[in-house]
Amino acid sequence: MSNPDPRLAGCNVNRIVFAEPTIVQRVKQLGEDITAAYPDGELLVLGLLKGCCIFLSDLVRQILRPLNIDFLVAASYGTDVVSSGEVRLLYDPETSLDGKHVLVVEDIIDSGYTLGVIMQLLAARRPRSLAICALLDKRVATQLHVEPRFVGFHAPNEFLVGYGLDHAEEFRHLPYIASLA
CATH number where 118 lies:
3.40.50.2020
Residue 152's domain spans which residues?
6-180
Q: Is residue 168 part of a domain?
A: yes
Burial 167-176 (b: 16+ CB within 10 A, else e): eeeebbebeb
**110 assigned to active site:** yes
Q: Contact at 8 Å (CB) between 51 and 171?
A: no
Q: Is residue 1 part of a domain?
A: no
In the set 5, 58, 92, 110, the catalytic residue is 110
Alpha carbon 112 to its chain centroid, in Å, reads: 12
Give per-residue pLDDT as tens, 45-94.
999 999 999 999 999 999 999 999 999 988 765 444 344 567 777 777 87
Q: Contact at 8 Å (CB) between 74 and 17?
A: no
Determine the residue type at 90: L
**Average pLDDT of the segment spanning 3-13:** 66
